Amino acid sequence: MRPAPLFSLRNLRLAVLSAGALLFLAPYIWMLSTAAKSREEIFSSSLSLWPQHWALWENLAKTFSRVPMLQLLLNGVIVCALILAAQVIVAIPCAYAMAKLKFRAAQIMMTMVMLGLLIPVHTTALPIYVVLTKAGLLNSYFALSAPFFISVFGIFLFLQFFRAMPDDLISAARLDGMSETSIIARVIVPNAWPAITAFAIFSVVAHWNDLFWPLIVITAPDKATPPLGLLFFRAAEAGDDYGALMAATLVITLPLVLAFLLAQRRFIEGITLTGLKG
């Protein structure tokens, strides 16, 4: 057998993908390197990726002693869980109705969904903030999560997924006497887990990393989300201690990395089936 040529199309493709992966991983690798260095080594004239003296555990100890890191992580989990649960409960029935039910306003609703994708969240921030202020709901989990309970992106994603589901499956369920609510709960949702997982990754990453909205509605440190807590940590405690700051960033980003690695197969399957792949 002839050996494969060195500069084959497959090798070129792998080289491009590897270079792209390294480019995206470079900031995370640098963060890990800085988190493992002492303050003196960070500000030294020599530039090295591998720490000469490991100070990772010392920097992590500073992180957990200076700010309530566990409380920040718990706040992030609660807020992301509330938002995701509400978004899925609202988006799945809406998408199912537009995909599988015939009614006059279906086209109008589809147009509204597409227009909703064009409206940035910053546009509605001021009126929502005024309403929450007058209701006395600032510095609460509700203030952090309520503006995101309806996700037009989620409706659009589930709509694309449900359109690919066979109509015969829905018709068979109706012949068995199931109501539309039962069809959603017992037929649609069990078959939509790939799309739910893909949307969950998008939703959790977006709201876990969100700083804009928590910075507006939260002033109490005990209700701060991880990015806002990191900002408090940098302003009040860390100063120029970049090793501790990077260690805190590592703690905050690690749950997202682990969650994506665990749900990677479902995520890719959901993106493929919804037709949103590149």
pTM over cut 0.85: no
Q: What tokens does 123 get?
A: 């546009």
| CA distances from residue 127 to 122, 132, 213 in whole angstroms, order as listed | 10, 9, 13
pLDDT at 256: 85
Domains along the chain with CATH numbers: 66-273 (1.10.3720.10)
The total of other beta-carbon atoms located within 10 Å of residue 24's CB is: 9
Give the pLDDT confidence of 29-52 residue by residue, as tens digits. 888 888 888 877 877 767 777 788
Residues 218, 107: contact at Cβ < 8 Å? no
Mean per-residue pLDDT, 14-41: 85
**Residue 8 pLDDT level (bands cut at 50, 70, 90):** confident
**Residue 93 pLDDT level (bands cut at 50, 70, 90):** very high
